[in-house]
Amino acid sequence: MGFLTFELSRFNMSDSRRDFLKKSAVLAAATAVSNHSFAQLFPDEEEIIYEYAIENGDVFSDRKFQKLFVGIDSNGRLKLSKTPLKAKQIIDASGKIVSPGFVDILADNSSNPESTYQIFESYKVSDGVTSALQLHGGHDKAITYYREFEKKPHYINWGVSTKVMNIRRNEKSVISRLKVIEKNLAYGAIAISHSIEYQPTPYSELLEYGKLAYQFQRPLFLHLRYSSKEKELLGVKEAIRIAKDTGASIHIDHLNSTGGTFNMAGAIELIKEARKDGLKITTCVYPYSYWATYLYSERFNEGWRERYKLNYSDLTVVGTGEKLTEARFNELRQKAGILVAVPQGTMPLNATVDLAIKEDFCLVGSDGGIERSVRANNHPRGAGCFGTAIRHFQDIGIPLESILYKITELPTQLLRPALMMRGKLQDNYWADVVIFDKAKINGAATMANPNQFSNGIDYVFVNGQIACQNKELKSLNGRKIKIQAAKVN
């Protein structure tokens, strides 16, 4: 650079035309030499060597399948390319689907998470779930939950809502309840969740929760008030009314088992009309034809046999297969935590789930989790929801692109900004990735034995590391999912 400066400084206005041309030729030659020298001194930036490169798969990006090369760098971030990428490890995904990680918005492990969370997470990650968010139950002390659980290693990304049911048990006034909820939201809890059927609540109080949800721009997740044929649509109308009266985004939990079990077409129509009016209403389903819940819950209060057209012998203790008698029902109903399932076909898929999933406002949520390592007393959806969903929805003719969108990107829109840089295969996004065989994928969990990893899933990456490979658990690299909000002491 000094040479060029020197040469330029020798030109002045008194130079003759001949001198000027002569000196210009010298300068041009010097410039060429100088440029060549700089190219040697500063070569092109070294080519990136990725930790992993995924090749030959059908890559789900921009809501369609593409032939792309997927790189995962040392920071756990993604790179998509139309040309091969250099990497320390090449994964041949020939004949396989390469998808963003699945997001379970309705995971459930709220009874004893301190001792069961890693078992719970292992059955989620083996089902292709990279982010399991507990937005049905959640936790009443979300601040404590986040602070304690971020010290622990996780297979997957995790996060919770603020659980109104427990807050209502602990706090006697509405004002004190709202203060606890507000503090949880200010810290970063993803949503407000409440189960009105299990804990009947005055509408005036529900409005206050809706107002807080709107104020903090978080969704209000609701298990509706009614699940009987005669009243279930009243529950849907109540949720819509809350959205209208508060402006809050309302998510109706598992519409197939509460709200649309008997009247799914009517429930869908109510939601569609509300959305046309500008209200923010979404819902979700799980791909099973039977529900399960705890015997001690309000759902089994007096009159349950008439409401559901079921009898004692129709109830099965999940994980053991025990069929109940009236005497055994009364005995187990006095114990906490006994989960029973109703017969398969109680909620016919073609009249419930299959109708709802076709709507653009319907997502997939498991409403479950596995809490014990051997024959857990949990619905199989806790282990196999997403493998089962992909299998079943393909079988009834729903395009795989539509299914994947509902379990990857759509949840990030509902929960924005909690899932920023997730839910898509896109440059610089977090490398939450699932590689699976679309012909073989299926949930393996059953009512008799829920503790089974799903089939057809080859790899699950969480934040760039392999968390599960061919049903074998690997690294613990999950991160907390929360809203970056005001600091709370």
Burial label for 250, CB within 10 Å (0-12, 13-18, 19+), is buried
pLDDT of residue 46: 60
Q: Please state the rounded mean pLDDT for residues 393-409.
A: 98
What percent of the chain lies above the pLDDT cut of 70? Answer: 90
pLDDT at 337: 85
Q: Are residues 320 and 386 in the same domain?
A: no
User: Phi/psi at 98 (nearest 5 deg)?
Assistant: -110, 115
Same domain, 430 and 302: no
* Domain end point (choices 306, 341, 376): 341
Q: What is the pLDDT of residue 39?
A: 35
Structure confidence at residue 485 (pLDDT):
66
What is the predicted pLDDT for the residue at 74?
A: 97
Residue at 412 is within a domain? yes
Check whether residue 380 and residue 321 sit in a common domain: no
Q: In the structure, what pLDDT confidence band is assigned to residue 112 with cuts at 50, 70 and 90? A: confident
Same domain, 106 and 223: yes
pLDDT of 65 strictly over 90: yes
Task: Over range 73-82, report the average pLDDT.
Answer: 98
Residues 282 and 334 in one domain: no
Cis peptide before 380 (omega within 30 of 0): no
Full-model pTM:
0.88
- DSSP class of residue 46 equals P
Asked whether residue 209 falls in the same domain as residue 318, the answer is no
Q: What's the pLDDT at 78?
A: 98
Shared-domain flag, residues 324 and 440: no
Across 171-249, where does the E strand assignment appear? 192-195, 220-223
Taking only Cα atoms into account, the Rg of the chain, rounded to an integer number of angstroms, comes to 28
pLDDT at 336: 85
My answer on whether 32 and 109 are in the same domain is no
Tell me, what's the pLDDT at 4? Answer: 34
Residue 332 located in a structural domain: yes
User: Is 76 among the domain residues?
Assistant: no
Please check the confidence at residue 444 and state whether its pLDDT lies above 70: yes
The reported pLDDT for the residue numbered 92 is: 98
**Same-domain pairing of 261 and 390:** yes
| CA gap 68, 71 in Å, rounded | 10
pLDDT tens string 160-174: 999 999 999 999 999
Q: Are residues 303 and 402 in the same domain?
A: no
Residue 67 falls within a domain, yes or no? no
Domain holding 21, by residue range, is 2-41
- Could you give the CA distance from residue 408 to residue 364 in angstroms, rounded to a whole number? 10
Q: Residue 441 belongs to a domain with what CATH number?
A: 3.20.20.140
Query: Measured between alpha carbons, how far is residue 362 from residues 189, 202, 287 in Å?
Result: 23, 27, 12
Q: What is the pLDDT of residues 16-47, one digit of tens each?
A: 444 444 444 443 444 333 333 333 443 444 68
Please identify which residue in the block is written with the tokens 């920071």: 75
SS3 assignment, position 357? coil
Inside any domain, residue 110: yes
- Indicate whether 68 belongs to any domain: no
User: By percentage, how much of the chain surpasses pLDDT 90?
Assistant: 85
Number of domains comprising the chain: 3
Does residue 146 sit in the same domain as residue 240?
yes
Q: What is the mean pLDDT of residues 356-363?
A: 98
Based on the number of CB atoms within 10 Å of its own CB, is 41 exposed (0-12), middle (13-18) or buried (19 or more)?
Answer: exposed
Q: Quick check: is 152 in a domain?
A: yes
Residue 488: its pLDDT value, please?
45
Q: What is the pLDDT of residue 149?
A: 97
Rounded distance, CA 4 to CA 200, Å?
83
Q: What is the pLDDT of residue 40?
A: 41
Q: Residue 462 in contact with residue 138, Cβ under 8 Å? A: no
What pLDDT is recorded for position 20? 40
Report if residue 51 sits inside a domain: no
| pLDDT score of 217 more than 90 | yes
For the chain, give the mean pLDDT. Answer: 91
The confidence band for 110, taking pLDDT boundaries of 50, 70 and 90, is confident
Q: Does residue 76 carry a pLDDT above 70?
A: yes
Q: How many CA atoms lie less than 13 Å away from 169 in the CB half-sphere?
A: 10
Per-residue pLDDT for 184 more than 70? yes
Does residue 378 share a domain with residue 333? no
Whether the pLDDT of residue 60 is over 80: the answer is: yes
- In this predicted structure, what is the pLDDT of residue 111? 78
